[in-house]
Each structure stands twice: as C-alpha cells, then as structure tokens.
Structure 1
Amino acid sequence: MNPNVSLKSNLFTEAFTRNPYPAYSQLREEEPVSYVRLPDGQYAWFITRYDDALEALKNQSFIKDFTKLGDHADNRSSIFSENMLFADMPDHRRLRGLVSKAFTPNMIEGLRDRIQEITDELLEETAGQNQINLIDEFAFPLPIIVICEMLGIPAEDRDKFRIWSNSMIEGSNSKYAENLEQHMRDFTQYLKQRIAVVRESPGDDLISKLVIAEEQGDQLSEKELYGVVALLIIAGHETTVNFIGNSIMALLENPDQLKMLKNKPELIKTAIEETLRYNDPVEFSTSRWAREDMEFKGEFIKKGDLVIIALNSANHDPCQFKDPEVLDITREKSKHLAFGKGIHACLGAPLARLEGEIAINSFFRRYPNAKMIVDKNDLEWRTGMVVRGVRELPLLLHS
C-alpha cells in the first residue's frame, strides 16, 4: 500500500467537516480501503466504496465487542457500551430482542398522532418570529420529547440529555473532552436513580418494560439496562436532530426540489430517503475490529485493527447512485446506508423516518417561504466521529 499522504492529511480538518465529498471521491478512486490517523490519534482502516462498505457492515469477522480480542482489547468501557450496538452474536440477538418489541412498525405508526401534535406545538411556539435557529427551536426538541415520553423521562430532565449526549458524541472535541468523565458519571447516576424509581413503581413506559422484560427467560443485567437506555436516549435523538436539520437545509439549497415537494407532499417518503443519502446524519459507522488476521479488498488487516465505514462516502458512490451529488427527491428504491445494514442496522430507523416525514412536511407547510440566513460554508459543523450536522441553522421564516 502506498498511502496518499497529501490526501490523508486533509481528512478530519475543518474544511473536510464542512464538505467531505471531494475527499471521499478521491479516496474511492485512489485508495478505497486506506489506513488513516483519526482525530484521537488512533489509526483505522477507512472504507469508502459502497460495495465494500455494504460487505464490511455485514461481515461478522469485523466485530463490535472489543473485549473478545484478548490481548488486543482496548480496555476502555463506558455506560454506552453495554448494548446491542456493541455486541456480537449471540449476545446481540438477545439484547435486540428485548428492545425490538417497542419498535415494531405498528407501535411506531401508533405514535404518528402524538408526533404530529408535538410538531404542531413546537411550530406554534415560533409563531410571530421572523427568525429562528432551527436546531434549538425545532430539530432538537422534537425527537428528545418523543424519546423521553417513550422512556418515561420527566419533561424537566430533557435538557440535561443535550449536555450529556453532546459530550459523549463529541468527546474528541476539546470543548467537551474535559467534562466527559463528569458527564458520564452524572448520566450514570441519573439512570441509576431513574431505574430505581421505576423498579418501585413501574408504568407503561419503555424503561419499565425493559426492567421487567424477559426474552426466552433472560433479563437485562443492570449494566445492560443502563447501556440500552443510554443508547435509546442518545442515539434515539442525536441522529434525528441532524436528520431533520440536514434535510431541511438540503431542500432549502435546492429550491427546485423543495418546490416539487410543496406541490406534491406525497413525495415526502422518497424525499426523506434522498436527503438521508445526500447528507447522512451519521457520518461514519461505529467502531469495528478485525476478529483475526484477514485480507479485505487487497489489504492485509491484522487482528485487532480498527475498521471504520464512511457511510456518507458510500452514499455518494457513482457506481451505486446515478449523479450522486444531485439531490433528486424522485430517486426511487434508494439503497443508501444511512441506517447501516446487517445485524446492526438501526433499530430506530422507522421512528426516525416517521419523525422526519412529519417534521419536514409540517415545517414547509407552516413556513413555505423559509430561507437560510447565512451561507452554508459559514455554518459551524459538529465534530466527532459519529454524527454529521450543524450546531445552528439560522432561518428567515418569512421572506
């Protein structure tokens, strides 16, 4: 392998974060499976082509539980690691089975009226304003209210989760790194107290169901319970915040597509699939490690090597998507990887899709003339190795 030092040195820079797609194009062409240095100093294999990404996501030789690596194992652990996202078979099947009952298509569809009600209430709160920050006033509160109501989290505690989840998602950012350990302790203590309350007096909420749930006679352990709840709270709203923000921004930047959606709101389902592909709110897959020495796409990967799939790069691979840099809300049967594939495909994808569908259609129905106030290049993008989204999205509601 002959590393492209010049190209790799430009990865994970501020310019890359604003617009990673030219770099992805070059990597797919020149070095589709490359060995790169991550922002935290670790090295990882970086997979950028669609077919390779799909294969890697499904390949169970790339494991999620690093404790199985023996001497190669990374000793770090956290409350966020004891869940199905970081488990391999058969543990993954057991953990996912315990949670999946709350995310059946029928149960998610049953939330439609409540999600619409929350959406309408949030938009009503913006009435009379001519300028808003879409993230703070709409994209963030909608999914956090939904997941907190599902979990039975009191309304007064919701804002805490923004601080805690930002810290965990963006731990590599110096702004959050110094407080990360304290935030993890605060989060853990909160969950301990909340679960203790639920054990004494269970209700109909999801935490209560997880506490008493049994799947083939097997209950969640205490650590697994914390891990699953942490995953649902953090992943359950973080990705949707960015999904809503990125989608509305993409449509505002492509007025022809937005006009088409306004005229034909029934296109919303294909529109959200296209905006997910076009600017995926999840930039990279979560970590995987090689279970053993292996060859993958002509590269020798050693046991214990870290593997990262660049989901946004795969979603812009011209070998899979015609004119991938073009937003086309009529694009059908999109096989994008925004929610992953294989056994670790996102459990909450149906909920995110429903929230996105309601949020986007409702927003543009209420504010058909909304416009971005600042140039996209002047927006501050979130850091970290998971989510892709802007910190703020200032919009003019009435032109």
Structure 2
Amino acid sequence: LVDDSTRQQALRGTVAEWAKRPPFYTRRTSVWVTVCSRAADVREMFTSPDRFSVEAPAYEGYKVFDIFGGLENVLQMEGERHDRIRRLMNPAFTPQAVMRMSADIDRIIAEKVDHVAGLDGRFDAVKDFCHDIIVRVMLDASFKLTPAQQQAFIKMHDSISLATQFKPGEAWPAEFMQAVQEVTEIISQVVAERRANPGDDMISNLVTATDEGRGMTESELFGQINSICSAGIGTTASTLAGALLMLGRHPDQLQALRDNPELVDGAVEESLRCHGPGFITFTRFATRDTELGGVPVFKDMPVVASIQAADFDPDEFPEPLAFDIRRNPKGIFAFGAGPHHCIGNRMARMVLRKALMALINRFPNLRLADPDFEPVYGGFPGELSMTSLPMRFD
C-alpha cells in the first residue's frame, strides 16, 4: 500500500482508477487493510467515528500505523477526550488568530522571493522556496521559536518517518527517540516561559487555553505542538509545490491567474484537489463488524482513505483529471472531513494564496525548467512530497 512504486504511480493513473472502485483489500506489512477511495465511501468513513475510530487496537504489527511514534495527539483521539483538546486548540486557529500572523507571513515570503530573485533565473521550487517558507511560517511566525529551537524541531520532523520504518516487535528507532527527547526539553522550557509571560503566538494560545477551568497537561501540550508541526510542515510545503507544478503544466491558467489575481482562491482549491499532500491519510480502525461501500469490514481491521482518489471521483467532480482554476470545487478532501478535519486548514490556505501570488507577481515569465518534467516523490508513508521542482524565470 505504501511502497515506493505505489507512491510514484499515484498521480500517474493509479488513484484515478481507485476513484471508480468500491473499497478493496490490500496489505501493509503483514496486516490486511481496507482501502476506500470513492468520494461517498471516504466521506462515510470520515464522518462515522462510531464505526471507524482513529484509536488503534493493541495488536502486534499495528504500531506501524502510528505515524506520530507513540506521541499523544488529537489526531489519534476519539470522543470527549478528542473534543476537549479540539476546544482547547480552537482559539489558536480562529480567523482572528490566523490574521494576526499575516504580517509575519508576508515578511517571510518576501524574504524567500528575494532569495529566489538572486538565483540567476533558475531555482528548485521545493528546496529554494516551498519547504523553507512553511518551516519558517510554522516555527517562526506561529511558534516564535529561536533559530536553535527551530533546528531541533526540524530534526524531529525529519526523523518521524523513521518511526514507520521498523518491523513488528522492534523498538522505536534510536535517532527518532533522541530527536523527541531534544524537542521535549525545548517544549518544556518554552511552555514554562510562555506560562510566565504569554505572548501573541500559537504556543501561548495553547498554554493559556482552558475548558471548564482546565487546560492541557504537559503531555497533551507536547503532543499537540508536535502534531501541528509534523502534520503541517510537510503537507503544506508539498501542496505549495504541487500548485506550482500544476500551474507550470498549464501556462494558460498561470497567465489567467496573473491577469486576474481574484482567481487565486479557485487556483488554490483546484491545486489541492488535483495535487493534494498525499494519496492516503491517517488510518482508522473498525470498531465492529460493519460494511463500507457494500464491502465487509471486520472488527479492528485498519481502514485507509485515499483522499486524492476521492478528489478524482467523477461522480463528485466532472472531468476530474482536468485542471481548471475556475472550477471552484466544493467539498474537497485534502483537509479531511468530519470531527478530525484539519484544524489548520485556514492558515494553510492563506499561506498558499500569499506564496503563489508573491512568486507569480515577482516573476512574470515563471515556468517549469522542463515542460515535460515528471516529479519524483518522497515523504512519510502515503505522502506525495516532491523531491525537487526545477523552475525558471527571466
């Protein structure tokens, strides 16, 4: 399910075919998994937590589905526990909280555009633009961390993929555990500082938030800070690169966006639909013997949704493989759905809009270095993270 050949072929026809199929069975390591990929099936799974839970049963071999390496976070909680943490997180992601970061985000993007302008007409959009912008937006603009603290978070983010690359019965990888320990110490220090002197930043919002007079425990704070970082950096950087690839492949639409900046919202949504951050998403587990799309799903069986396939479902999106920034698609699955939908989607969309328009406006002849460029993908299991995206400008 998550081997490299599946990843490389995902956007070359594989998930588009999945979009027409009822749920099917496959294997991940030694475990049988149900994959759902039609929009109706994916929506049903996301919105039925009573039947499909994010909390994994304690079976041998199931640890591979925990992409956060055993860290406590809201993406792997259910019921009142999940709802309480979401309520505590919500103030950090309101429209007002996101807008307060706007000036810092503009500054970061402007600095990166200036950096690209000095690269003599050729640059790698992934390495020279997308990744660093999202890292700095998250760790600088949102968390207000020092450069040294940011490096520790980056090290942990980069090592999380190791936590999914071990065999049943093995211990967590030593490199991952060392990175977690370093970040744990930093978070403890930062949380103590923000408790004493809260500021106008995301960590301060998380530290000071209360629900019925009770805030998050130290363990919960660490889990949420880590999940925001881990789930936000790679996916948003991948989506920004994906948007540049799709626009580069369709120069007429790139020109239309340049001529009509009001199309940017539609361009972002269509890019999210056509080249989202991954071809599968977080695993659910059947709470009882049930059915999905007419296919039996047995109690405790892992169930995986292909959000990218759902966004290619012809019953949901006519001519699904056509990229059209005027489509204005509604109900895309890039940020999930139901109680576990991405809490940071508002901030991600704002960053995508700002970064795209800053680059397009600065470089009128922005284009792919090779019109026939075919990307190579990496990232966490199930992610579609381009390793490079060569571009040119005059």
> Could you say whether these structures have the same fold, taking a TM-score greater than 0.5 normalized by the shorter chain as the test?
yes
Q: Distance in 2 between matches of 1:137 and 1:284?
A: 27
The aligned residue for residue 84 of structure 1 is 74
The aligned residue for residue 230 of structure 1 is 226
Q: Distance in 1 between matches of 2:211 and 2:199?
A: 19
Q: Report the alpha carbon displacement of residue 92 of structure 1 after superposing the two structures with TM.
A: 1.3
Quick one: which amino acid aligns to residue 226 of structure 2?
A: A
Q: Distance in 2 between matches of 1:73 and 1:218?
A: 36
The aligned residue for residue 388 of structure 1 is 384
SS at match of 2:378: coil
**Matching residue within 146, 150, 155 for 1:154:** 146
Q: Against the structure 1 CA distance between its residues 80 and 135, is the aligned structure 2 distance closer, same or farther, given a 3 Å change threshold? A: farther
Q: Distance in 2 between matches of 1:288 and 1:185?
A: 28
Q: Against the structure 1 CA distance between its residues 365 and 80, is the aligned structure 2 distance closer, same or farther, given a 3 Å change threshold? A: farther
Q: Distance in 1 between matches of 2:308 and 2:130?
A: 21
Alignment of structure 1 residues 169-180 onto 2, 5 Å: 169=161, 171-172=163-164, 179-180=175-176
Q: Report the alpha carbon displacement of residue 121 of structure 1 after superposing the two structures with TM.
A: 1.5
**Matching residue within 226, 237, 241 for 2:237:** 241
Q: Report the alpha carbon displacement of residue 57 of structure 1 after superposing the two structures with TM.
A: 0.7
Q: Distance in 2 between matches of 1:157 and 1:375?
A: 39
**Matching residue within 168, 187, 190 for 1:191:** 187
The aligned residue for residue 116 of structure 1 is 106
Q: Distance in 1 between matches of 2:85 and 2:96?
A: 21
Quick one: which amino acid aligns to residue 270 of structure 2?
A: E
Alignment of structure 1 residues 340-379 onto 2, 5 Å: 340-374=336-370, 378-379=374-375
8 Å Cα contact 1:290-1:303 kept in structure 2: yes
**Matching residue within 91, 115, 123 for 1:101:** 91
The aligned residue for residue 127 of structure 2 is 136
The aligned residue for residue 169 of structure 2 is none
2:36 is equivalent to residue 44 of structure 1:
no
Deviates more, 1:149-158 or 1:221-230: 149-158
Deviations 1:110-139 (A, max 9, x none): 332332222112111222322222122211
SS at match of 1:44: strand
SS at match of 1:90: helix
Q: Against the structure 1 CA distance between its residues 13 and 121, is the aligned structure 2 distance closer, same or farther, given a 3 Å change threshold? A: closer
The aligned residue for residue 298 of structure 2 is 302
Q: Against the structure 1 CA distance between its residues 63 and 19, is the aligned structure 2 distance closer, same or farther, given a 3 Å change threshold? A: closer
**Matching residue within 252, 258, 274 for 2:254:** 258
Q: Report the alpha carbon displacement of residue 178 of structure 1 after superposing the two structures with TM.
A: 7.0
Q: Report the alpha carbon displacement of residue 160 of structure 1 after superposing the two structures with TM.
A: 3.5
Q: Distance in 1 between matches of 2:381 and 2:152?
A: 22
Q: Report the alpha carbon displacement of residue 41 of structure 1 after superposing the two structures with TM.
A: 4.4
**Matching residue within 279, 288, 291 for 2:287:** 291
Q: Against the structure 1 CA distance between its residues 259 and 188, is the aligned structure 2 distance closer, same or farther, given a 3 Å change threshold? A: same
Deviations 1:28-80 (A, max 9, x none): 44x42111122x443311111011111111111111122xx467995687566
| Total equivalences in the alignment | 384
Quick one: which amino acid aligns to residue 147 of structure 1?
A: M
SS at match of 2:319: coil
Q: Against the structure 1 CA distance between its residues 330 and 292, is the aligned structure 2 distance closer, same or farther, given a 3 Å change threshold? A: same
Q: Distance in 1 between matches of 2:158 and 2:279?
A: 15
Kindly report the root-mean-square deviation, in angstroms, between the aligned alpha carbons of the 2 structures.
2.6
User: Normalising by the residue count of structure 1, what TM-score does the alignment of the two structures yield?
Assistant: 0.88
Quick one: which amino acid aligns to residue 48 of structure 2?
A: N
Identity %: 25
Quick one: which amino acid aligns to residue 103 of structure 1?
A: F
The aligned residue for residue 62 of structure 1 is 52
Q: Distance in 1 between matches of 2:126 and 2:70?
A: 24
Deviates more, 1:181-190 or 1:299-308: 181-190
8 Å Cα contact 1:46-1:307 kept in structure 2: yes
Q: Which structure 1 segments of 5+ residues have no match? A: 1-7
The aligned residue for residue 4 of structure 1 is none
Q: Against the structure 1 CA distance between its residues 372 and 333, is the aligned structure 2 distance closer, same or farther, given a 3 Å change threshold? A: closer
Q: Report the alpha carbon displacement of residue 285 of structure 1 after superposing the two structures with TM.
A: 1.8
Q: Distance in 1 between matches of 2:204 and 2:384?
A: 32
Deviations 1:258-282 (A, max 9, x none): 1111111110001100000001113
Q: Distance in 1 between matches of 2:382 and 2:109?
A: 26
